Amino acid sequence: MMKKRPRGSLKSLRGKYIGGFIMWIKGTGPFPVRGLPLFLFSAGLIGISISDYISRLTGVYLQPVFVFLWIFSTGMGAKIEGKNLVLLYGFGLIRQRIDLSSIEEVAMLSGLEKGRVVKYFKAYTFTWFIVALWALLDLTVLGGAEGGLRLYVDVFVAALFMVFFLSLTLPRSWRTPLQVGALCCAVFLLVVPLIKLGPKTLIPGMFFVLLIWFIIRGFSDDGLIMVVAEGKAYLLSSRRAREALKIIREAMKNASTS
């Protein structure tokens, strides 16, 4: 008995780009590296970092507003819709459409040379840099080391940025340097609060170290895909990166011939 081909498989893409064809790319979502999602991400993340000082100066508690902006910058999924690759953010309310025929390059991050991600996503990386710089400034100059929660937030943000920067600048094949860098960040995350506040920080410190480990594991397990269209670069994360890459390439091929 002949098996029925599942709807949305790679071969079923052929000849279906006219009309309302939709195919979700499972386990795949975009980073907020361009346009409105980038603005919301930057405003939200920087706002969260400085909200304590804004509240002191104005008397207005704005942190929920900044958290709301940050949440709406979060990538929620990706799909092939007609002749477009559609990236979804903020519960699907924000969409970026990329004409498949305009895509110039699509590649796995593992296939990119060192530093190329930072080259294409300067604004996104710069946002993290600003937040980490503020955390270090608060930690060393503005008195963040005096308060327990602020101390943890400052140290965690600084360590997280270091891990993030290493993850985006080192080739994916360089796992050992990335793991060593993450280990140094984890030690920094444990030692600074321990020196400032004493042994009571070890248990919460371990929680933050585990969080760093989960982030590193995510970067190792999830594939990162870069899409370049009309000179604009987009970054996607996928638990099924190779399958997602095949779907996008197949969609590009069929869109150009239909």
- Tens of pLDDT, residue by residue over 48-107, are 878 877 887 888 888 889 889 988 999 999 999 989 999 999 988 999 999 999 999 998
pLDDT at site 2: 44
pLDDT higher for 187 or 104?
104
Average pLDDT over residues 3-10: 47
Strand partners, 98: 85
pLDDT band at 6 (very low <50, low <70, confident <90, very high): very low
Average pLDDT over residues 171-191: 68
Distances (CA, A) of 207 to 73, 190, 204, 210, 221: 26, 10, 5, 5, 21
Distances (CA, A) of 61 to 45, 50, 55: 16, 11, 5
Tally of CB atoms within 10 A around 165: 16
Sorted by where each begins, the domain ranges of the chain are: 15-257
Instruction: Look up the pTM and report it.
Output: 0.74
DSSP state at residue 224 = E
pLDDT at site 1: 46
pLDDT at site 79: 95
- Please measure the distance between the N-terminal and C-terminal CA atoms of the chain and give it in whole angstroms: 32
pLDDT higher for 97 or 177?
97
Average pLDDT over residues 29-40: 94
DSSP-derived 3-state class of residue 236:
strand
